[in-house]
Amino acid sequence: MTHEFINTARLLRNKYLVFLGIIIVIIITNIPIIRYNTQTNNEAATIINVSGRQRMLSQRISKLTYNITTQIREDGKSQQDHFDSLNKFCNQFNRAHNALLYGNGDFGITVKPSQIVKQQIEGTTTEHTGIINAAKQLIANPDTATSNAVIDTMRKYDIQYLLEMESIVSQLEREYIKKQRNTYIGLLSLSAVSLIIILLSFVVIVLPTIRKLNIANDLLTQTTDRLFMATGAAQIGIWEYDVKTDKLIWDDEMYRIYGISPADLRGVLKAWFKTIHPDDVSRVIKELRLALHGKEEINSEFKILRADGAVRIIKAQAVSNYNRHGKVVKLTGINLDITDQRTTEKIIKEGRESLAKAQQIAKLGSWEWDINTGKEIWSDEQYRIFGFEPGEISPNYNSFTDRMYPDDVDKVLKAIADTFDNTKPYKVDFRIRPKQGGIKYIEALGEVYYDAKGKPMKMIGTALDVTERKLLEAEKKTIENILEQTSKTALIGTWEIDMNTNKMKWDAMTKVIYEVPAEYEPTVEDSLKFIKDDELRNKYTAEMAETITQNTQHDLELQIVTAKGKTSWVRVISQAEFENGKCLRLYGLLQSIDKQKEKEAEQKSYIDIIGEQNKRLLNFAHIVSHNLRSHSGNMEMVLGLYDDSETIDEKEEMVNHLKGISLALSDAIRNLNEVVSIQTNINKQREKINLKSYIDKTIDVLSGEITLKSGTIINNVPAEIEVSFNAAYMESILLNFLSNGIKYRHPERSPVVTLDIKEVDGRKMLQIADNGLGIDLEKHGEKLFGMYKTFHGNSDAKGIGLFITKNQVEVMGGKIEVESEVNQGTTFKIFLS
C-alpha cells in the first residue's frame, strides 16, 4: 500500500514537471509575440511623436526666421547662434521628414508608413522643401531684401504645412488606435488559448493522478488506521530509535504500557531505562547495545516497574535498519504487555484436571513422548481407550504398537517418520484391539517439538476414539452405495443450488450425464449453457423462477448438449426448500431419458406404420364397398327389371345387361385382387434394376401408340443409374406414367414426356414431366391417386392406373409427388426409396 502511494506520488511529481514544461513552453512562445506587439505599438507612438514634432519644428523655423528678419531689419544683422539654431532645426526637420517617409531607422522609425500616410507626407514635400529652402536662403543671404522675401515664403508654406501635418497626425492616430485594438484582441485570444491549454493539460495530465493519489492516500490512511487499530487491540506498543539523532520515539500504546507521559520520556533512552525493573535493567541495556552494534536483534522479555508500583512483564522485539555501510541507523520495535498471558498459563495449569474430564467425555486421549529419555506420559483417557485403568501400565513406545492391528502398524510408523522428515504434524487412522477385546477405530494426531537448536525434543499427540462414528459411517456408506447403484442403473443424478451463495453442486452421476470431468465445478450460469436452445432455456428458467418464488415442484423434459457435444434428453425434477417464506435451497434430480425417448420414437414409428396400414385398409374397404356394391346394385336392379319385363325382347335386353355387369364385376374383382396382392406381397422382391434400360424397354412397348400420336419421349436418365426395386412394379409404373403422358396429351400440341433422375435428400427421384392437359390439383388433388377416379372424361380411362402405381411405389418404401397446371402439363416426382 505504501509502495503504491509512493509510486503514485512520484508519478504525480513527474506529471507536474510535464505540466510545468507545458506552461514554460507557452510562456516562451508568447513572449516574442507580446514583445513584437509592444514594439510595434511603441514605434507607432514614436511616429506620432515625430510627426507632432515636425509641426513644432516648422513653427520654430518660421519663428526663428521671423526673429532673424526683425533683427536684420532693426540692426542690419543677426546673432550667429540664431543662424546655427536655424540650421540645426532645418536639418532635423529634413531628417524627420525622410524618416517618416522611408522608415530608414532615423529617430528609431523602422516602419514604412501606410499608403495613405505616405501619400500625405509626399503631399507636404512642396511646403517642407519651401520652408527649408527659405531658411537656407536667409542663412546664405542675411539681408533685408532676402529676409522680406523669406518671410513671405514662410507665411505661405507654414500654415499649409501645419494643416497637412495635423491631418497626418490624426491619420496616424486613427491607425494607431486601430492597430492597438487588433493587438488587444490578438493578445486576448492568445491568453485565452494559453489558458485553455494549461487547464486542459492540468485536467488530462495532473488531475487523474491527484485523484489516484487521493485514493491511494485514503487506502494508506485506512491501512494505517487498521494497523493502528490492530496494534491497539493487541495492546502492542511501537517504538523507534534513531541512532544518529539519539532520539527515541514512542507511540501512544507505549506510553500506556509504561504508564508515563511524553514529558517524562523526552525521547531519551535513559528515561526508558529508568522504568525497567532493577533486576533486568543491565541485561536489557546489554541486549540493546548488541542490537546497536548489529550483532543480534532484540527479542527479549523483561519486567518493568511502573510509577504506580505495578510490575508488568514486557515482551520486546525489534528489527535493525542498516545503512549501506552495514551500520545500524535505526531500530524499530514493539513492546507487548504479556503479564496477563503469563497469568493465563497459570490458569491453564490449574485447568488440567477439567481437561482430563473433557478428554473422558470426548473419548480423546493424549500422550507425550520424551524422545531423549524415551519416557512416555499418557493422559487418563489414553489409558482407558487402550482398555487400561489410568496408571495400570508404564507406557512406552511399544505400548502403542502392541495393541495396534498388525495391518495398520506400517501405516502409523510411516506417518510418524514423515513427521520427522517434513516437520509437519501428522494425522493417521488406525485400529486397535483394546485389552478387553473387540475393535476400536482411532484417529490420531501428533507433532514433534524441537529445542532451540532444532533437535527433536519431544512428541505430543492425541488419540480420538472414533469407533461409533466409523460404524455409522460404514452404515451410511452402505446406504450410499445402494443409492449410487440405483442412480447409476436409472441414470439419475442429483443437483442443488444454495440460494444464499448461489453455489451449485452436482453429484457424480449428474457430471456423467453432462459428460463433464469429475473435478468440474458447475455454476448456475454455466449450467444453463448446456440446454440446447433458447426456447427450452427460457422455459427452464421460468419454471425454476416459479419454483423459487412459489415453492412449486417442477418436472421438465429438456434437450441438452453435453460437454462432449452430444445431444441428449434429460428429465429435470426440481424442488425448493423454504424457511420463513424464503427459498434457501433449490435441489432436484436429473435423469438421462435418451433410452425412453428412443423407445417413444420407436413406438411412434410403429404407430405411424400401423396408421398407414389402417388408412390403406380403410381405403381398401371403401373400394370394395363402393365398386363391388355399384356392380352388385346394378345387377340387383337389372334383375328386378328382368322380372318385371313383359316381353321376350325386353328380358333378352336385360340378360345382355347382366352379362355386361358380370364382366365389369369380374374386372373390378381382378383389379382389387391386384391391389391386394401389392399390399400383401410383403416380400417385395427387390433387385438391381438399370433404370435407363427399363425406360427404353417401356418406350419400345409403347412405340406404336407414340408414333400414332406423334409423341416424343426424352429419356435423360444416365445409363449407369441402378435402383433397387421390384422389376414387375417398375415395368407397371413406367408403363402407366408414359402411357398416361401420351393419353392425356393436349389437343393443340404433340405430346412430349421427359424423364430425369435427381437426388433429393439422399433419395433417388425419378421425374416424369409431360406437356399434356394437366390436372386441376385444387379440385382433384385429393382424389388423384384414388381408385376408379377419372378426370378428363376419356372413355378409356379406368381410374385404376395411378392407384396401383401409388401402391406399388409405397410398398417399395417410396412416395409420389405431383405438380400440375391445367393446359400446361403434369410433373410426377417418384421417390424410389
Q: Which residues bind other proteins (CB under 8 A)?
A: 622, 625-627, 629-630, 633-634, 636-638, 640-641, 644, 657, 660-661, 779, 788-794, 797, 799
- Give the single-character DSSP code of 113: P
Residues with Cβ within 8 Å of residue 653, at least 6 apart in sequence:
none
Q: Which of residues 649 and 759 has its CB atom nearest to other proteins in the complex?
A: 649
In the complex, least distance from residue 741 CB atom to other proteins, rounded to whole angstroms: 19
Q: Is 547 left (phi over 0), alpha (psi -120 to 50) or beta?
A: alpha
Q: Which of residues 598 and 644 has its CB atom nearest to other proteins in the complex?
A: 644
The answer to whether the beta carbons of residues 388 and 371 sit under 8 Å apart is no
In the complex, least distance from residue 667 CB atom to other proteins, rounded to whole angstroms: 14
In the complex, least distance from residue 817 CB atom to other proteins, rounded to whole angstroms: 23
Task: Return the C-alpha cell found at 93.
Answer: 526637420
Q: Which of residues 382 and 736 has its CB atom nearest to other proteins in the complex?
A: 736
Q: Which of residues 545 and 617 has its CB atom nearest to other proteins in the complex?
A: 617
Alpha-carbon dihedral 176, 182, 183, 185, rounded to 10 degrees: 150
Strand order from edge to edge, sheet including 815-821? 712-715, 752-760, 763-770, 825-831, 815-821
Q: Which of residues 786 and 813 has its CB atom nearest to other proteins in the complex?
A: 786
The answer to whether the beta carbons of residues 359 and 378 sit under 8 Å apart is no
- Residue 131 exposed, middle or buried by CB count within 10 Å (0-12, 13-18, 19+): buried
DSSP string, 329-356: EEEEEEEEE-HHHHHHHHHHHHTHHHHH
Residues with Cβ within 8 Å of residue 549, at least 6 apart in sequence:
583
In the complex, least distance from residue 637 CB atom to other proteins, rounded to whole angstroms: 4
Residues with Cβ within 8 Å of residue 204, at least 6 apart in sequence:
none
Residues with Cβ within 8 Å of residue 702, at least 6 apart in sequence:
713, 735, 738, 739, 742
Q: Which of residues 411 and 798 has its CB atom nearest to other proteins in the complex?
A: 798
The answer to whether the beta carbons of residues 512 and 493 sit under 8 Å apart is yes
In the complex, least distance from residue 797 CB atom to other proteins, rounded to whole angstroms: 7
Give the separation between CA 606 and CA 679, rounded to whole angstroms: 17
In the complex, least distance from residue 485 CB atom to other proteins, rounded to whole angstroms: 57
Q: Which of residues 194 and 634 has its CB atom nearest to other proteins in the complex?
A: 634
The answer to whether the beta carbons of residues 551 and 578 sit under 8 Å apart is yes
Q: Which of residues 198 and 641 has its CB atom nearest to other proteins in the complex?
A: 641
Q: Quick one: which H or E segment has residue 666?
A: helix 648-680
In the complex, least distance from residue 492 CB atom to other proteins, rounded to whole angstroms: 49
Alpha-carbon dihedral 808, 812, 813, 819, rounded to 10 degrees: -40
Give the separation between CA 539 and CA 558, rounded to whole angstroms: 9
For the beta carbon of residue 93, count every other beta carbon within 10 angstroms.
21
Do the bridges between strand 687-690 and strand 236-242 make them parallel or antiparallel, or are there none, so unpaired? unpaired
In the complex, least distance from residue 661 CB atom to other proteins, rounded to whole angstroms: 6
Give the separation between CA 681 and CA 811, rounded to whole angstroms: 9
In the complex, least distance from residue 606 CB atom to other proteins, rounded to whole angstroms: 26
Q: Which of residues 476 and 659 has its CB atom nearest to other proteins in the complex?
A: 659
Q: Which of residues 657 and 746 has its CB atom nearest to other proteins in the complex?
A: 657
In the complex, least distance from residue 734 CB atom to other proteins, rounded to whole angstroms: 25
Q: Which of residues 298 and 784 has its CB atom nearest to other proteins in the complex?
A: 784
Q: Which of residues 474 and 637 has its CB atom nearest to other proteins in the complex?
A: 637
DSSP string, 196-241: HHHHHHIIIIIHHHHHHHHHHHHHHHHHHHHHHHHHHHTTEEEEEE
Query: 3-state class of 377 per DSSP?
Result: strand
In the complex, least distance from residue 708 CB atom to other proteins, rounded to whole angstroms: 24
In the complex, least distance from residue 654 CB atom to other proteins, rounded to whole angstroms: 9
Place of cell 522504568: 275
Alpha helices for 373-436 (secondary structure H): 380-385, 397-403, 406-422
Q: Which of residues 480 and 636 has its CB atom nearest to other proteins in the complex?
A: 636
The total number of residues shown for the chain amounts to 833
Integer distance in angstroms from the first to the last C-alpha of the chain? 78
Q: Per DSSP, what are the bridge partners of residue 493?
A: 590
Q: Which of residues 269 and 641 has its CB atom nearest to other proteins in the complex?
A: 641
In the complex, least distance from residue 742 CB atom to other proteins, rounded to whole angstroms: 19
In the complex, least distance from residue 622 CB atom to other proteins, rounded to whole angstroms: 6
In the complex, least distance from residue 733 CB atom to other proteins, rounded to whole angstroms: 23
In the complex, least distance from residue 678 CB atom to other proteins, rounded to whole angstroms: 22
Q: Which of residues 265 and 638 has its CB atom nearest to other proteins in the complex?
A: 638
In the complex, least distance from residue 810 CB atom to other proteins, rounded to whole angstroms: 22
Instruction: Give all strands (DSSP E) within 398-506, no chain letters.
Output: 426-432, 440-450, 456-465, 492-498, 503-506
Q: Which of residues 425 and 633 has its CB atom nearest to other proteins in the complex?
A: 633
Q: Which of residues 628 and 721 has its CB atom nearest to other proteins in the complex?
A: 628
Kindly state the greatest CA–CA separation across the chain.
196
In the complex, least distance from residue 656 CB atom to other proteins, rounded to whole angstroms: 10
- Residue 668 exposed, middle or buried by CB count within 10 Å (0-12, 13-18, 19+): buried
Q: Which of residues 16 and 791 has its CB atom nearest to other proteins in the complex?
A: 791
Using CA atoms, how far residue 94 sits from 106, 119, 377, 823, in Å, is: 11, 17, 130, 119
Query: 3-state class of 610 per DSSP?
Result: helix
Radius of gyration of the chain (CA): 62
Give the separation between CA 530 and CA 833, rounded to whole angstroms: 37
